[in-house]
């Protein structure tokens, strides 16, 4: 079935540094990638939607200069958290939309980011 | 405005019993899809079941069934014969086809299955 590989699964970084999270669709073409963040015991909040080859669409309140999303190919999308701060510590998860997915969505396994 | 509402507090369920998780939604679209996902402590999102707005029959997938009441805008998940491995967070989500196909999630229900 459709698989999305997300890595790293967890990362600890120092405040002020940047972290890149990758989501790669292994056996299908991801025309759209959705990026979510989830705080402990809360729901998934959509951060942005990206389509291959075009600029990402960010949800209201999400800083596009802080959360850089690149969807350069149909199999790879990246989220870069720039100048990370402790309040950026969260669980980030991607979801790919493509023709091969049953009912439309395949989630990555998530990345737990801790900024110290 | 919140589109998906899950209001039940955390639930304890006896192993082998059934559990119903409530979900109500709000949309003015005629075409939409409803999903239930399971999220164990590892964080992965596991797809459980899907119901399309035009589907006349309630969806079923093994031990999971969806009680779809369109007029009441509810899509409750029923898990039959609970197992210890069912302990997790459960999220109801809706896709509106005119909203870039994105999913809107409810706040989730915590389920703990006890032996």
* pLDDT greater than 80 at residue B32: yes
* pLDDT greater than 90 at residue A31: no
* pLDDT greater than 80 at residue B1: no
pLDDT of amino acid B86: 98
Give the tokens for residue A83: 């100048």
* pLDDT greater than 60 at residue A29: yes
Q: Is A79 exposed, middle or buried (0-12, 13-18, 19+ CB in 10 A)?
A: buried
* pLDDT greater than 70 at residue A100: no
pLDDT of amino acid A2: 84
Contact A46 B104 (CB under 8 A): yes
Nearest to A115 by CA among A9, A21, A13: A13
For A72-85, the DSSP string reads EETTEEEEEE-S--
Nearest to A39 by CA among A108, A93, A97: A93
Measure CB to CB from residue A46 to each of B102, B107, B110 and give the nearest one.
B102
pLDDT of amino acid B98: 67
Q: What is the mean pLDDT of chain A?
A: 92
* pLDDT greater than 70 at residue A102: no
Q: What is the DSSP letter of A15?
A: T
pLDDT of amino acid B2: 61
Question: Which residues are CB-neighbours of B67 under 8 A, at least 6 positions away?
Answer: B20, B58, B74, B75, B76, B77, B78
Model confidence over B45-56: pLDDT tens digits?
999 999 999 999
B29 pLDDT band (50/70/90 cuts)?
confident
Q: How many CA atoms lie within 13 A of B53 on its CB side?
A: 17
Q: What is the mean pLDDT of residues B80-94?
A: 97
* pLDDT greater than 90 at residue A72: no
Mutate to test the interface with B, among A5, A23, A92, A107 (most CBs of B within 10 A): A107
Q: How far apart are alpha carbons A1 and B19 in whole angstroms?
A: 29
Contact B101 A112 (CB under 8 A): no
Question: Which residues are CB-neighbours of B99 under 8 A, at least 6 positions away?
Answer: none
Measure CB to CB from residue A93 to each of B45, B108, B110 and give the nearest one.
B45
Contact B85, B91 (CB under 8 A): no
């Amino acid at each position: 079935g459709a698989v999305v590989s997300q890595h790293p699964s967890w990362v600890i970084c120092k405040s002020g540094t940047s972290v890149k999270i990758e989501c790669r669709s292994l056996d299908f073409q991801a025309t759209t990638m959705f990026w979510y963040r989830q705080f402990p015991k809360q729901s998934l909040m959509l951060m942005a939607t990206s389509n291959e080859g075009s600029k990402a669409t960010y949800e209201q309140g999400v800083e596009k200069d802080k959360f850089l999303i690149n969807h350069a190919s149909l199999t790879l999308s990246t989220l870069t958290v720039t100048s990370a701060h402790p309040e950026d510590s969260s669980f980030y998860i991607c979801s790919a939309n493509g023709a091969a997915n049953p009912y439309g969505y395949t989630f990555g396994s998530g990345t737990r980011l801790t900024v110290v | 405005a919140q589109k998906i509402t899950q209001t039940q507090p955390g639930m304890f369920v006896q192993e082998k019993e059934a559990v119903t998780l409530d979900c109500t939604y709000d949309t003015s679209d005629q075409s939409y899809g409803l999903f239930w996902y399971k999220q164990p402590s590892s964080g992965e999102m596991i797809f459980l079941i899907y119901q399309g707005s035009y589907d006349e029959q309630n969806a079923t997938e093994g031990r999971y069934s969806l009680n779809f009441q369109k007029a009441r805008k509810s899509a409750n998940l029923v898990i039959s014969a609970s197992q210890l491995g069912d302990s997790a967070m459960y999220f109801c989500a809706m896709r509106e086809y005119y909203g870039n196909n994105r999913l809107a999630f409810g706040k989730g229900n915590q389920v703990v299955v006890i032996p």
